[in-house]
Amino acid sequence: MRYITPRKAATGLGSSRSGTAHHWHLTVSSYAMVILTPLFLIAVGQAIGLPQEGVVAHFGRPVPGIITALFVIVGMIHFIKGTRIMLDDYVHGEANKLAVIAATIFGWAVIAAAVFALAKMAFTIIAI
């Protein structure tokens, strides 16, 4: 026999079993992205057209490097959470699970690639 009431068992779960946490995470990351978007466009805009050494030196500097890293990390986590909503709307059953897994892996792969490149650029400056 379960002593927990149905009300208690459902509290905080919501329709997708994670309550408001998912929505709240997208809200918090959207505030971050509003700040990061113009900064990121400037950081990337300054680098497009530069030769390879120029690109490496540009993103090796603290401000463009940190802005770009934050944009890709926060942006791709925002993407993973946002894609989950779209998939829950249009894709159901096992296909939904596989698509959510694929989107999550893809998102973290992009983050890892960007962070690796930016870290290598940051350390290239020290080596020169």
Partner 1 sequence: MADVNRGNRPLSPHLQVYRLPIPAVASIMTRITGHALVAGIVLLVWWLVAAVSSPQAFAAADWIVRSWLGFIILTGSAWALWFHALSGIRHLFYDAGMGLEIENAKRNSWIIIIGSVALTLLSLIIFFIG
Q: Which stretch binds partner 1 (CB under 8 A): 8-16, 34-42, 92-100?
A: 34-42
Give residue 100's region: left, alpha or beta (phi > 0; psi -120 to 50).
Answer: alpha
Alpha-carbon distance of 70 to 78, in angstroms, equals 12
Helices 62-90, 94-127: inter-axial angle, 10-degree rounding: 170
Please identify, using beta-carbon distances, which residue of 13 and 109 lies nearer to partner 1: 109
Binding-site member from 34, 126, 127, 128 for partner 1 (CB under 8 A): 34
Question: CB count, 10 Å around CB of 8?
Answer: 10
The 46-85 contact track toward partner 1, x by CB under 8 A, reads: x-xx--x--xx--x--------x---x--xx--x--xx--
Using CB under 8 A as the binding rule, whether residue 10 contacts partner 1 is answered as no
Its sign, for the CA torsion 114, 115, 120, 123, is: positive
* 20: contact with partner 1 by CB under 8 A: no
The single residue among 39, 66, 110, 125 that binds partner 1, judged by CB under 8 A, is 110
